[in-house]
């Protein structure tokens, strides 16, 4: 079994009634509970995957929840989900109540015995406060909030060159991490696509949303004594190394 299949991330993506297959009895080292913060394109998704592979934690991304809901509905989404998807297409934040409903209904995922990495959530002060209350209620304190930092020009270059596999969600970049065959995923042969919100007009809206709504979370988590800053320059592996060092983790527990 590889590291990622140890956690049933599908449950997080499949809506309220989907049963998580991860067995709570299984014990495999400390259960890390982390939040990844940083502007779009800084590499949070890639780092979340790499950290998960090392520590056996569940990678939970609200952006992935919405994209999965969109695929599942096949054009027949509820009015609330249709509105959420329209916000997403434009690069705007989805309203807090819709996001919170999606998180609240899968609260069991936060109890995952392997721990969790939240990627793209929380994104507003109100979400951060709600999450903090929930984690206190559930007695699941966070261990750390990692803030990835990167100059703006590099962020825009990363976003506009990013391509994602439609099937397995693997991430490539047209210049820094190109696939072996043009537009084909190296892992599963799936088609590589540019996310709708990685187009220039949406990137500008997303950066603005980050500056106005998400950047204040830096102070929020600093006040809670949880914030750790990691420079997001260099290769994904170099950033991972810095992240693990910041968490004072010497040896990755799971390497596959």
Residues that bind ligand AMP (CB under 6 A): 40, 61-63, 66, 87-88, 91-94, 99, 120-123, 127, 197, 206
* 90 is a catalytic site residue: no
Looking at the Cβ atoms of 92 and 241, the one nearer to ligand AMP is: 92
- Pair of tokens at residue 20: 């998580």
Looking at the Cβ atoms of 7 and 202, the one nearer to ligand AMP is: 202
Catalytic residue selected from 89, 90, 184, 195:
195
**Is omega for the bond preceding 88 within 30 degrees of 0, making it cis?**
no
Looking at the Cβ atoms of 120 and 179, the one nearer to ligand AMP is: 120
CB of 106 to ligand AMP, least distance (A): 13
Catalytic residue selected from 106, 123, 147, 158:
123
* 199 is a catalytic site residue: no
CB of 30 to ligand AMP, least distance (A): 26
C-alpha span between 29 and 55 (Å, rounded): 8
Which residue in 118, 115, 149, 120 sits closest to 242, CA to CA?
149
Looking at the Cβ atoms of 56 and 122, the one nearer to ligand AMP is: 122
* 9 is a catalytic site residue: no
- Pair of tokens at residue 173: 């970049």
Which DSSP symbol is given to 211?
Answer: I
* 44 is a catalytic site residue: yes
What burial letters (b/e) apply to 212-238, b meaning 16+ CB within 10 Å?
ebbeebbebbeeeebbbbbebeeebee
CB of 75 to ligand AMP, least distance (A): 18
Which residue is closest to ligand AMP by CB? 63
Place of tokens 């997001």: 232
Looking at the Cβ atoms of 90 and 143, the one nearer to ligand AMP is: 90
* 123 is a catalytic site residue: yes
How many CA atoms are closer than 13 Å to the CA of 52, on its beta-carbon side?
Answer: 27
- Pair of tokens at residue 44: 């949070």
Catalytic residue selected from 44, 67, 106, 147:
44
CB of 88 to ligand AMP, least distance (A): 4
- Pair of tokens at residue 138: 């559930």
- Pair of tokens at residue 239: 């950033």
Catalytic residue selected from 33, 147, 206, 242:
206
CB of 207 to ligand AMP, least distance (A): 10
Q: Does residue 246 sit in helix, strand or coil?
A: helix
Could you give the residue numbers annotated as active site?
44, 123, 162, 195, 206
């Amino acid at each position: 079994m590889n590291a990622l299949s140890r956690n049933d991330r599908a449950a997080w993506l499949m809506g309220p009634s989907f049963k998580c297959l991860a067995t709570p009895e299984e014990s495999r080292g400390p259960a890390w509970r982390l939040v990844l913060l940083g502007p779009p394109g800084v590499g949070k998704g890639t780092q979340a995957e790499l950290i998960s592979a090392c520590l056996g934690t569940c990678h939970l991304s609200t952006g992935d929840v919405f994209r999965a809901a969109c695929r599942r509905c096949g054009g027949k989404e509820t009015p609330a989900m249709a509105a959420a998807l329209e916000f997403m297409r434009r690069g705007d934040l989805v309203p807090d109540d819709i996001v919170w409903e999606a998180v609240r209904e899968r609260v069991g995922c936060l109890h995952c015995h392997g721990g969790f990495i939240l990627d793209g959530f929380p994104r507003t002060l109100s979400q951060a406060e709600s999450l903090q209350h929930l984690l206190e209620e559930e007695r699941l304190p966070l261990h750390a909030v990692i803030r990835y930092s990167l100059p703006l020009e590099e962020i825009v270059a990363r976003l506009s060159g990013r391509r994602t596999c439609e099937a397995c969600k693997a991430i490539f970049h047209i210049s820094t991490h190109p696939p072996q065959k043009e537009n084909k995923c190296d892992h599963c042969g799936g088609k590589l696509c540019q996310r709708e919100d990685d187009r220039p007009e949406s990137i500008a809206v997303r950066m603005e949303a980050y500056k106005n709504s998400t950047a204040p979370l830096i102070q929020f988590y600093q006040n809670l004594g949880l914030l750790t800053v990691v420079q997001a320059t260099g290769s994904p592996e170099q950033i991972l190394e810095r992240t693990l060092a910041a968490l004072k983790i010497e040896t990755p527990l799971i390497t596959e």
